[in-house]
Chains A and B, each alone.
Chain A
Amino acid sequence: MARFTPHTDADIQEMLEAIGVETLDDLFADVSPKFEDPLDLPPVLSEYEALRDVEARAGENVSGMPIFLGAGAYDRIIPSSISAITGRGEFLTSYTPYQPEVSQGHLQAIFEFQSVISELTGLEVSNASVYEGANAVAEAALMTARLTKRDPKVAVSAGLNPRYREVVETYRVEVVELPFDGGTTDFSAVPDDVSGVFVQSPNFFGIVEDIEAASEAAHGVGALCVAVCDPISLSVLETPGNLGADVAVGEAQPLGMPLIFGGPYAGYMATHEKFVRQLPGRIAGETVDREGKLAYVLTLRGREQDIRRAKANSNICTNQAVTALAATVYAALMGPEGLREVAELSISKAHYLADRLQDVGLKLRYPEAPFLWEFAVEMPDVDRVNDALLHNNIVGGLDLGDGAMLVAVTEKRTKRELDVFVEVVANAG
């Protein structure tokens, strides 16, 4: 019998009798066409053997080194308390909270997640998460079309993570490109038939963009403004809500989620209360039970696929509940001051590194632009530099493919790591 099935031969016999069939094969009498061969899969392994294999595979990855890659996923410090909470079976092994009486834990955690996102973005309502950053951007693009009753067509610039843009296009949204100059987007000439104007800040090159200009441009043509923001940055940067954005979305991975090769992360989405009916995905709301006791429940369900089917805002069902819980616990542990410190440490270290690189003769691609913790630095041969870095046990930055490296610096990097980085780059340059 398979590993996690409790059935003894006697159990099986008794159960088959109760059903009124003779063999297990009889239970598949209705199946056609049948598959009768054994599955051609590797032989069954014990837990111990399987986990040794996992270790062996992990050993084939480059790991245990300081990482200077970012571009949408950041190597940040993760408090140990997070996995202690997210690993609790009551959270980990539950389904979507359809039965609120026995799901208050998750429902309240979702409510707290929504609150954290609202506080960070300065917008009134947030959903319970979507898959990840790119998906949040794509869902926001579709949302702008529903709200403006226009065809899905959005204005973006090279400042939007190119991978986000690709996902938006996969979701059959037309994309028009805005000029991008000196590290920031020019919003002065937005076409008048777009449903949304997108502004990522900090943008793909780590630079703070003018969300206010983007919202004015959007509203000027009857479109909506969607701000794509790193949640950590919102501890120090003005909220998209205050700058006129109608929707704020982004990747919540920096809030306490491991890199784990790209996922699971969590996408967040927030908007004004007046737009809530066009928000996709789940929302937990406050209510009371029969005794008047405060409780939480999934609400405004009429937006969702299980109720509205073909007319739903989105097909999203399963989202990222447990990683959203991680973000919530992270925000609680850090608090406003801790989040700010994460941001300030990252900014200080990134600026230290950028200054040292310039000291040894390298040029920033956008020297005049205000950046946070990520910047593009010119190098004729990024590959060679990255090889040299790897040789010195450092995972270098992202090769932008046009003679520059995108370097991300988080609070996790030490001065010593930054100094070695400069030294290696200077010598390999």
Chain B
Amino acid sequence: MLGERSLESLIRDKGREGRRGYTLPKPDVERTDLEKVLPKKSLRKEKPGLPEVDEPTAIRHYTNLSRKNWGIDTNFYPLGSCTMKHNPRANEAAAAVPGFANLHPLQPESGARGALRVMHELQGFLSEISGLSAVSLQPMAGAQGELTSILMVKRYFEEAGDEGRTTVLVPSTAHGTNPATASMAGFKSVEVGLDEHGCVDVDELRALVDETTAALMITNPNTCGVYERNIAEIAEILHEKGAFLYMDGANMNANLGRMRPADAAVDVMHFNLHKTFSTPHGGGGPGSGAIACSEVLAPFRPDPVVERNGDGFRFARPEKTIGRVSTFHGNFGVLLKAWNYIKMHGPELRDVTDMAVLNANYVRARLRGAYRIPYDELCKHEVVVQPPKGKKALDIAKGLIDHGYHPPTIYFPLVVKEAMLIEPTETESKETLDDFVGAMLELAESTPEDLEEAPIHAPTRRLDETRAARQLKARW
């Protein structure tokens, strides 16, 4: 049996002064005396308190840490709004190819032709999938894709001399990144309410949109998993007043080959490549928040975009660019994986969406009765449910852990009390869903007392979160 200490302690506590986990090549030039070439006061006096461990200890430590972590590889992970689908290992193999892995970002274009070709093709794929003609691969996560898009809108109005555009509208179902993005871009965010289907209330929207509106940030399908059926009309309302329609495309897994944002007159959108196109989320990143936009906004895209140049490719700076959003070219490794994923699907991407939507609706149908379903109509790739009255989403979530399931997203969207947002994704089988539903039904029957102690079969019990904040200890 492993002792408590060896499982729990920090890597630094597993070392001893003088141990080393890696050997470097022997010096083949004369050693430079730092005191001779650098000002004395710039030299470090005390060495940093880093671990001093051997390689076997480091490997065992991090391997054991990984065993206290669930991923898609280990458990069903129906975390709503996150699209936790299987991450094909072919994508990892692609990113490990030395011709890409060792490619310096400032290598001249002629020496990075393959990388530029991949970016150019991916721009084309995303353009086809969205129907929007221009793409930027620069943003490094969804939130940065949002910011990029809204900054482009801002720059558009500045360029047009239209100084009165001060607000961005955000539906109450929106992900927190949307209003945070509006603020960061220097707009005031104003909330729009919902109709009885959980969709943007068109009448309320009409009353809110005026010459001060820069854009509406809509998520489609929205975070209740419901398709925004009035999206085309919404676009018209905005366009009439000269405002833009931005679409948060985090939920594009519901749209592939079934709906193209451009057809609904969306002006600009972001993709989450780390959701829809299955690049692994890595426990919190990296991601890519590539954007697509119309011709009107294309000149404002971040620097650079990839263009054809004879039979090669080049980086180009869009004419009225908002500037750079990343040091080099975005998270290229993530782009490469998404490109590979799309190539392994081609037009069959539509089947991905079909099975994702089938799975979500199946779960909805099976949970009906035992759970409250606030918008019990067709859902898209995810469904929001509520526990039976008197029961808490948190307890059910923790109970699910004891059944071996990663909990759904809970308490989001904010508009649904005790929300449990379930996104099964297309890569789960009917059997998995049936078993999961079985656990959910059992938990619906349990009393709060039954669940008070859950989880008991996890690496830790419930945590004291208040203490973490009150007595902050964020380092060794």
Contact = CB atoms under 8 A, between A and B. Distances in A.
Nearest to A201: B42
Contacts of A84: 59
Contacts of A102: 69-70, 75, 401, 406, 455, 458-459
A71 interface: yes
Contacts of B398: 101
A189 interface: no
A261 B347 contact: no
Contact of B34 (A50, A131, A282, A347): A347
B363 to A, nearest CB: 10
A59 B99 contact: yes
Interface in B95-153: 95-108, 110-115, 117-118, 125, 128-129, 131, 140-144, 146-147, 151
A169 B101 CA distance: 30
Contacts of B28: 414-415
A188 interface: no
A379 interface: no
A384 B30 CA distance: 30
A403 B117 CA distance: 30
Given A323-B286, A351-B32, A57 B458 contact: no
Interface stretch (A15-23, A192-200, A218-226, A421-429): A15-23
Contact of A305 (B143, B280, B345, B351): B143
A151 B466 CA distance: 33
Given A102-B406, A104-B68, A285-B469, A260 B95 contact: yes
Given A99-B397, A311-B183, A237 B352 contact: no
Interface string B306-336: 0000000000000000111111111111101
Contacts of A120: 48, 50
B358 interface: yes
B12 A115 contact: yes
B206 interface: no
A205 interface: no
B211 to A, nearest CB: 21
Q: Which of A170, A262, A316, A321 has the most CB of B within 10 A?
A: A262
Interface string B164-205: 000000000001110111111110010000000000000000
Interface in A195-222: 201, 208, 210, 212
A251 interface: yes
Nearest to A18: B365
Contact of A167 (B58, B232, B325): B325
B326 A262 contact: yes
B430 A14 contact: yes
Nearest to A142: B184
Contact of B48 (A2, A11, A234): A234
A195 to B, nearest CB: 16
A132 B358 contact: no
Interface string A365-397: 000001110000000000000100010000100
A90 B66 contact: yes
Contact of A329 (B44, B58, B140, B354): B58
A315 B143 contact: yes
Contacts of A41: 125, 128-129, 342, 345-347, 349
A347 B38 CA distance: 11
Interface string A407-421: 000010011001000
A297 interface: yes
A7 B431 CA distance: 10
A43 B346 CA distance: 5
A137 to B, nearest CB: 9
B392 interface: no
B105 A306 contact: no
B285 A71 contact: no
A261 B112 contact: yes
Interface stretch (B15-23, B237-245, B291-299, B443-451): B15-23
A132 B327 contact: yes
A266 B286 CA distance: 8
Nearest to A119: B48
A261 B115 contact: yes
Contacts of B20: 334-335, 337-338
B225 to A, nearest CB: 11
Interface string B405-416: 011010010000
Given A101-B401, A317-B176, A352-B30, A115 B476 contact: yes
Contact of A85 (B59, B106, B397, B464): B59
Interface in B246-281: 256-260, 263-264, 274, 278, 280-281
B390 interface: no
Contacts of A40: 128, 347
Contacts of A191: none
A64 B53 CA distance: 31
Nearest to B226: A30
Interface string B71-114: 11111010100101111101011111111111111111011111
Nearest to A279: B474
B44 A239 contact: yes
Q: Which of B85, B97, B125, B146 has the most CB of A within 10 A?
A: B97
Contacts of A67: 102, 104, 107
A261 B67 contact: no
Contacts of B354: 24, 27
Given A95-B77, A129-B285, A35 B176 contact: no
A189 B303 CA distance: 32
Contacts of B258: 28, 31, 34-35
B362 A18 contact: yes
Contacts of B257: 35, 38-39
Contacts of B182: 310
A50 B82 CA distance: 26
B62 A329 contact: yes
B243 to A, nearest CB: 18
A295 interface: yes
A83 B93 CA distance: 12
B333 A260 contact: yes
Contacts of B260: 35
Contacts of A342: 24
B468 interface: yes
A11 B334 contact: no
B97 A58 contact: yes
Nearest to B48: A119
The 5 A-B pairs of least Cβ separation, nearest first, read A58-B99, A262-B328, A89-B73, A322-B282, A105-B69
Given A69-B104, A89-B72, A320-B285, 14 more contacts: A15-B430, A38-B257, A39-B346, A81-B58, A102-B70, A102-B458, A109-B283, A131-B285, A166-B324, A238-B43, A264-B331, A299-B465, A309-B179, A335-B21
11 contacts: A27-B358, A32-B231, A34-B259, A42-B346, A105-B68, A105-B69, A131-B141, A170-B322, A259-B101, A263-B330, A320-B282
